[in-house]
Each structure stands twice: as structure tokens, then as C-alpha cells.
Structure 1
Amino acid sequence: MGSSTALTELTMQKYQRMQTCADVQRRSAWRPPYALTTALELLSIEVPRISSKHRGLATTTIVAVPHANDKRHIVGVKVVVWPFPLDTVIIEGQFTCTSPACTWAMFSAYLELEELIVLADSMMRRDRRLCRTTIDALSLYLDEAEAQVRANKENGANSYLFRGYNKCRRALLLARAGTDSSMETRTRLVLLKYGLDCPQVNYPIFVGNNTRPIYLDLAYPEFKVCIEYEGSHHAGQWLNDARRRQMIEDAGWKYIQVTKLDIGNEAGEEALARRVAERIQEVTGKTVQLTMRQTTQQISDVRKLRRIPLYKRLKFEPLLPIIPTTQE
């Protein structure tokens, strides 16, 4: 709920990174685009969880070049080769970095599928000040990379798609625009892993006499069940959160609160999925069966994503409409 803290932190990271990049540019006239974690920080995009094998990405300045022959040695700068469309944007009129879509595709070689989904969501925040791209733009970039490889092959060159291309395609099936935090994304994926339908992201409802909507982090409007992630920044606003919860419950919603203690270990995540299933059972009066825990790879199978919605399987009349996503 809310992203003002994230905005402040990301803005601070951006200006810290700009200082580092300015130092690099004072020492060298070479101007390749900044990439990967350096690009994310310049773009004020939250950095995903990176495995220990690639931790170095977070501690150095990274630039990208299209060919290995373009590499140069600059102290404190890591150069990566990206022989695909090197789309760029300019930050504050002086720092060129890879575009959000290009940066996301480049990260596919370093991230697990789940974190690639988290990163895509982070680039499409509900807060317009932090929204950097769209599902369509991410998909278009993959199309352009594929077209480049196809053209190279037609010209007789050995050319292959980047290592994480298929991972990117899978990630787009589960990515959602309009999220507020990475933990909300991870919570959403947990529910899918236990066979529940994908909840709606930031579902708007009007309560009381309010003329402006309240946005529910995750919601099953067909059952009027919502899941709200409470981050550490909520500790100082517990009174407002309590009032918010009361208004939501007064409007007839089943409210499930989630914290970091519920996410990150299988026992806690299974318990969360069971809580959600139990609330749905209370509404419908029908048993909701969970599945064995599935992997992110399994839940991104397009066949599973096309299955009949739970409310139809339960023969339950939706209480509120479901808002279609761009992936549906």
C-alpha cells in the first residue's frame, strides 16, 4: 500500500549513482550506455534479488557495448557485451543508459524466473512517478531482438537469441502492471504456486462516502476476498491502516493481512495459501482444494493460465466484476 517511501529511497539511490557515473565521465571521454544495476538505479527502478553468484553486479558501475571489440578498460567499470538492440534513454540530460525494456531483457541472464517477473512489475508501478514501461513495450523489445536474429540468419550469419529469451516470454505471462511493491508481486506468485487463481492487482473499490477509490493490493473481487501486504513502512501509520481495514471489512470484504513473515519459507507460504482458500470457502460454502506446491516455471505454463476460473469451477456467481488484464 503506497509507494512514497520507495520513491524517496529510489530517488536517493539515483542521485548517488549519478555521482558515481559523473566521476567515471570525468575520468574518461568514452560514453557507452550504463546497463544492468547501474541503469536500474539511474532509472529509479527497484533492484531485484540477485543470486550470490552475481552479487558483483550491485557493487560496480556497468556499461554495455554491442561487440567484444568495443570493450575498453576503465577502472571501476565492468563492460558487458549485448549484441541485440541497444535501446537507450538519457537521464537528467547527461547520463545515457539502456532503456527499461532492454535492461530487463539483459537481466534475464542473471535472474531466476521469479525475480525476472518481480523486475518487470517494478518497472510498471501504479505510481506514475515510478512507471517506466509497459507490458507491450517489453514484448515489443523481445520481438525486435527476434527480428534482428532472423535478419542476421537470412544474411548468412550465425546468430542466436540471448540466453534468457524464453524466460522473458514466460515472465511476461505472469507480470502485471500497476503494482506498488515487489513483496506484493511475490505474494501474488505464492498463491499461484498452490493452485489458486491469479488475484487482481490494485483492485479499486469505493467505500463509505469516499469519492476516491481505495486500491486493494491483491483481490479476488468475485469472492470479495482481499490480501494486503503490510511492509515495515506501515509501522508508523498503524492507525490509518486500521481505519482502512475497517472500511474494507465494513464493505463486506474478507481481509487477509500479509507480512514478510508469511513470505520466504514454504511453511509460511502454504499457510497463507490455506488462509486465502479458507476465506473463499467461507464465501462460497464450497471446498477449495490447493495443489502441491509448484515452481514458478510450472505456473507460467500457458495451458495452466488458460484454465477455467475458480468461480466457474465452483459454479459461483461473482460478487463483483473481474477486470481483464492485458495478458488475458
Structure 2
Amino acid sequence: MTFPITRHRRLRRSAGLRNMVRETQLTVNDFIYPIFVTYGQNIKEEIPSMPGVYHLSLDQLQLEIDAVVASGIQSILLFGVPEHKDAVGSSAYEPDGIVQQAIRSVKSRAPHLVVVADTCLCQFTDHGHCGCILHNQSTGAAEVDNDASLELLVKTAVSQAQAGADIIAPSNMMDGFVSAIRDGLDEAGFEMIPIMSYSVKYASAYYGPFREAAHSTPQFGDRKTYQMDPANGREALREAESDVIEGADMLMVKPALAYLDILRQLKDHFDLPVVAYNVSAEYSMVKAAALNGWIDEKAIVLETLTGMKRAGADLIITYHALDAARWLKE
């Protein structure tokens, strides 16, 4: 049927009607809130390129957790900024490393909060790469050693689970990382700890502010040999399929905003929960425009997060989480 019998505006006439037929619902339960923890006392230092996001010492982390709980957010993602770095990122898997301490602190303060531990080496290595370095004998070039890195990532994941992490989220993009971590967790008695795999992680320009926040900028080269080419879509399905076969429990797309088509492809092809990472530059661009008075921050953020949910995200990692949770209550 066509106009005038069909009038699409009939179901838009009032807020009540629009609420009744709304297809996509954004709720506080969709959010995972990233937090950066560091050593020291009484530290709450704003990250210059990410207004409203802070480096927090463990005592300040407790106050942040109180705010998270009060907001109704169910989950946080922890990143650590270590005191020392070395070639193999040993502070990533120390039993008393900064992330491990933070996990225990959060679980003592809010046992019900779901703690996701980022499992990578980049912020813990002195070279800033996501694995250990191999010097090619024939070319002399420095390369990331995939298989040797897996051993260190397994140690990191197990140490995080031992500290009390509810979810392990490996973000390194080494081949075989899900299988290695699944085996390592199972052997250590953590069969019930799920893996939220950074399955589709692009070599993106949208990570700039995060690298400042995590102090993880590569000291040489780039990460294009292990993170994905932004031009590739079919490759994303191959990466995700490998993780499904290897035992991933959730699949992530990072970044989210420029890759909503990839998010939808994963949703359509696999039956696991799909996570979108609303990354640092996506956050910072909105904040910068809002601080200049160019946009309505609340409206832009909620529309963007709803778009990610509509594209297929079951969960959204976002630095906007505390603000968005408050706005959804209004």
C-alpha cells in the first residue's frame, strides 16, 4: 500500500508512540567503562587528550568504583600504567602488578562488579609493541615474535584470573592467542573465566589519545604487521572465525564508529555476543567539539551509542559510560 493509505508518520506523533515502537533500546547494562590505574597515592590526573578521563591511583580507584556502582554500570575494563618496563613486559604478569592489584581492590570494594582485564603487553614493554621482539638474522630487522609472545600473554591472563578478573580480554592480535589463553586458563583451573577477544582490531588512527593514556606508543615501526588493514572487511570474518574455533566467548570490533559495517557482519555471521569499542579518538573528538560549543554532547553521544547498538553491538566499551548512564536516567 502507498500514500495516502500508508502514513509512516502515524507512529511518530507523540513521545509515547515513539517509545512503543522503538526498535533499539540503549540501557546502562550495555556499557563497559574503561579505567586507567597507576601507582602512587592520591593521584587523579586528567589525561590531556581525553577530558574527563583520568590516571587513578588505587585509593582514587576506590572512589571511582563507588561512582560506577551508583550509576548502575555493571562492568569495567582495567588498563594498567606500570612503574617499570622491560623488553618482555614482565610487570604485566607479576602477581602484584598494577592491574592485578587493581582487580583485587575493585573486587573487595564491589564484588558484584564485572571486572574485565585487558590482556596485552604494549604498555608494559619498553619498546611499546604487543609482544616480545625478535631480531631477524638475515635482515637485521626487529619483528614481533608471535609464538614467544603467546607464552607471556598466557602468563598475563592466568595472573589476572588469579587476582579475580571475571573476563579476560586479550587485545594483542597475535595469531593463535585465543587458543593459547584458553588452554592456559583451563590448565590453571579457570575453565569458567570467559574470553572477550579483540577479534577484529584495526591498525587505526583512532588510538592516538589512548596511547598517551596508556603510555604505549611504539618506540619503532608500527603495529600494521599484526593489527588489521582498515581497508579489509572479509579478513575480519576470517579473524573472528579463528577466534570462535579457538574458544572465544565474545567477539570485539575495535574501533567502532568507522567500522559499523564490520560490526554488522560479525553479528550476522556468528552467534556469540559482539562488543563494540568506542575508542579514545571517537571520545576525544566529541569532547573537543562539545567544549567549543559546536555540538550537543548528550544528544551526539546517545545517538552514536544507539547507532552502535543498532549495528549489532550487544555491549559497548565507552569512556562516555558514566555520562551516558546519567543521561539515560534523565
Q: Tell me the TM-score normalized by structure 1.
A: 0.28
Greater strand fraction, Structure 1 or Structure 2: 2
Larger gyration radius, structure 1 or structure 2: 1
Greater helix fraction, Structure 1 or Structure 2: 1
